[in-house]
Chains A and B, each alone.
Chain A
Amino acid sequence: MSSAAMELNLNAVLPELVMVVAAAVVMLVDILNRGGRSVTRPFLPWVALAGVAVTAGVSIWLLGEPVSIFQGMLITDGRSLALNLVTLTGAALAILLSIRYIPAVNNQTGEYYALILLITSGMMVMGAALDLMVVFLGLEIFSMGLYILAGLKRSDLRSNEAAMKYFLLGAFASAFFVYGVAFVYGATGSTQFDAIAAAQAAGTADLSFLYVGIALLIAGFGFKVSLVPFHMWTPDVYQGAPTPVTAFMSIGTKAGAFAAFYRFFVTGVPDAQPVWGWALAILAVLTMTLGNLAALRQTSLKRLLAYSSIAHAGYILVGLATATPAAIDGALYYLISYAFMNMGAFAIVILLERQGEMDALSNRLAGLSKTHPQLALVMSVFMFSLAGVPPFAGFFAKFFVFAAAVEGGWSWLAAIAMLNSAIGAYYYLRIVVSMYFDEPTAETLTESPNYSLPITVTLGIAAVFTIALGVLPSLWTNLVETGVMGTLALR
């Protein structure tokens, strides 16, 4: 061990540390203010939001020199910080959406916000991991929190069912994941990405074990980001879980898992690229196609967004399969724009839900432009962006990823992805058409929706950034670039 490895630069784990401390503070504040069991503590979400804001500030402050810690098990560089910003955006908007929603679902709000912060820290750990052990820990930290949050409404059978399905299948997938880690370790003698790559380069790695390990890891990873054929849990869990949790889940799990796996594939097993590149490309084709086709026939808005999130996981996977720096940065841009547009869409679903409901059917949108014109307009922005219509963020997200795929020699994959975007456009635009050209029916939302300041703010932020990132993609790319340059200098 060199002296550089021995010294502990805590800056490398500072965002995660701040997040965990914030979660502890939320729990403490919660306990110190418990008069009776039903006393609501309306300031808790703001404490949690402050924690998110401080962590985001720390992440932006750290942009620049990459630092690694614990003998290279964790690294903080441009990409991990960019990922932090994606998950923190998801967490902040989810907290805003929860302020009105969660007290009606479950009175014990303290645990809820603490869990959101701890889950976020798990996702951030995944984005910074350079060792399969750390990836596994991050994966489990956020999965276990999400199992609990999916079942937050204990009096509701659907919510319980969502938790049950998510837990049983999630634990099953975790077992495959660790088995994969064990095989990669057996093949190379290490779980650290650099050492794994070095063992392959030196020819000491047992390739059959390595490929079995990679296959098992892809299965475990595919489950977490709901790639077809590991997606069966997604629609049920998305539908049954409380809507803010669903919104958070759809963004955070993708960001964390994609970050960890890009690092594993690109820095850990670069020599096996012909194998995993094709495996991921085939999974991407299956995921996009099945996600989009299944979304066509959904009536529940949350299930529709669930299948749409499966399809978007496929588009992001196109970037991961290509694995050039441009493709990875494209995927990062995809994640941040997806965070804003999807959060916005889920915020609308929350507004469309009637008292006591945790879901809304798509016919509630019929003729919405006549009853609630502003709501219909904002929803159209998110739908156009999800469909990939310029000038919204969703268009440039797809453009960056697919263009990088063409340059990286995956033209056929980009072509299939574009065909799929066309299928996707059909069901997103059908919602817009239904809002603007259908007559309001008995199901249409005519009463005033449950507007509250936090939800309005969320909608505003989501809409503004969906448009701003589309008009000025350099807002994001400039921010990330400084850090990414630093990463290249390190290698």
Chain B
Amino acid sequence: MVPTGYYLILSAIIFTIGAVGVLSRRNALIIIMCVEMMLNSVNLTLIAFARQWDNLNGQVFVFMVMAVAAAEVAVGLAILIAHFNLSKSTNIDDVNVMKW
């Protein structure tokens, strides 16, 4: 059996890649993908812990996270399209009308 720690390290690495992606990428679509990656790494963590504790709470929570992630993407893409219609850009450096 693969020890739980390995899963935790893997998911921490994926979470970090996602977080760095959100902070460094400039394309809003890629940022949404990075957020999805972060959520999926959390799912992996939950599954690993659920196996370690031998109860189903973690697995049930994974389904909730997946449902929420799906809804979030739907809303996010709609917002992205509405913004693209006006600004003709998906680069978040162009999201700068309001400052300080």
Residues of A within 8 A of B (CB): 133, 136-137, 140, 144, 147-148, 151, 154-155, 157-158, 160-165, 167-168, 171-172, 174-175, 178-179, 181-183, 185-186, 189-191, 235-236, 239-240
Known: A133-B61, A168-B92. A186 touches B52 (CB 8 A): yes
Set B15, B22, B60, B86: member contacting A179, Cβ < 8 A: B15
Known: A140-B68, A167-B76. A178 touches B42 (CB 8 A): yes
Pair B71/A190 contact, Cβ less than 8 Å = no
Q: How far is the CA of A183 from the CA of B39 in the complex (A)?
A: 13
Number of B residues whose C-beta is below 8 Å from A? 46
Pair A191/B82 contact, Cβ less than 8 Å = no
Set A133, A164, A183: member contacting B83, Cβ < 8 A: A164
Pair B87/A189 contact, Cβ less than 8 Å = no
Report if B9 contacts A (CB, 8 A).
no
Set A181, A182, A236: member contacting B98, Cβ < 8 A: A236
Give me 5 other A-B pairs in contact (C-beta within 8 A), A174-B39, A178-B65, A236-B98 excluded: A136-B64, A137-B68, A158-B98, A168-B32, A182-B58
Q: How far in angstroms is the closest Cβ of chain A from B92? A: 7
Q: Name the B residues within 8 Å of A140 (CB-CB).
A: 68, 71-72
Q: How far in angstroms is the closest Cβ of chain A from B67? A: 9
**Cβ < 8 Å to A, chain B residues 39-95:** 39, 41-42, 45-46, 48-49, 52-53, 55, 57-58, 60-61, 64-65, 68, 71-72, 75-76, 78-80, 82-83, 85-87, 92, 95
The B contact surface, by secondary structure, is helix
Pair A154/B75 contact, Cβ less than 8 Å = no
Pair A185/B49 contact, Cβ less than 8 Å = yes
The A contact surface, by secondary structure, is helix
Q: How far is the CA of A183 from the CA of B11 in the complex (A)?
A: 12
Q: How far is the CA of A234 from the CA of B76 in the complex (A)?
A: 18
Report if B28 contacts A (CB, 8 A).
yes
Q: How far is the CA of A171 from the CA of B21 in the complex (A)?
A: 13
Set A157, A167, A240: member contacting B79, Cβ < 8 A: A167
The closest CB in chain A to the CB of B4 belongs to A186
Q: How far in angstroms is the closest Cβ of chain A from B96? A: 8
Q: How far is the CA of A362 from the CA of B37 in the complex (A)?
A: 43
Q: Name the B residues within 8 Å of A186 (CB-CB).
A: 8, 45, 48-49, 52-53
Q: How far in angstroms is the closest Cβ of chain A from B74? A: 9
Give the 3 A-B residue pairs with the shortest CB-CB distance, closest first: A175-B38, A186-B49, A189-B53
Q: How far in angstroms is the closest Cβ of chain A from B85? A: 8
Pair A147/B75 contact, Cβ less than 8 Å = yes
Set B22, B48, B87, B98: member contacting A239, Cβ < 8 A: B98
Q: How far in angstroms is the closest Cβ of chain A from B88? A: 11
Known: A167-B76, A191-B61. A160 touches B86 (CB 8 A): yes
The closest CB in chain B to the CB of A134 belongs to B64
Q: Name the B residues within 8 Å of A236 (CB-CB).
A: 98-99
Q: How far is the CA of A148 from the CA of B79 in the complex (A)?
A: 7
The closest CB in chain B to the CB of A140 belongs to B68
Give 8 pairs: A residue, B residue, CB < 8 Å, sorted on A. A157-B86, A165-B95, A167-B79, A168-B32, A171-B76, A175-B39, A179-B42, A185-B53
Q: How far is the CA of A117 from the CA of B82 in the complex (A)?
A: 23
Set B8, B71, B82: member contacting A151, Cβ < 8 A: B82
Q: How far in angstroms is the closest Cβ of chain A from B72? A: 6
Q: How far is the CA of A235 from the CA of B98 in the complex (A)?
A: 9
Q: Name the B residues within 8 Å of A181 (CB-CB).
A: 61
Q: How far is the CA of A136 from the CA of B78 in the complex (A)?
A: 22
Q: How far is the CA of A139 from the CA of B13 in the complex (A)?
A: 26
Q: Name the A residues within 8 Å of B72 (CB-CB).
A: 140, 144, 171, 174
Pair A172/B82 contact, Cβ less than 8 Å = no
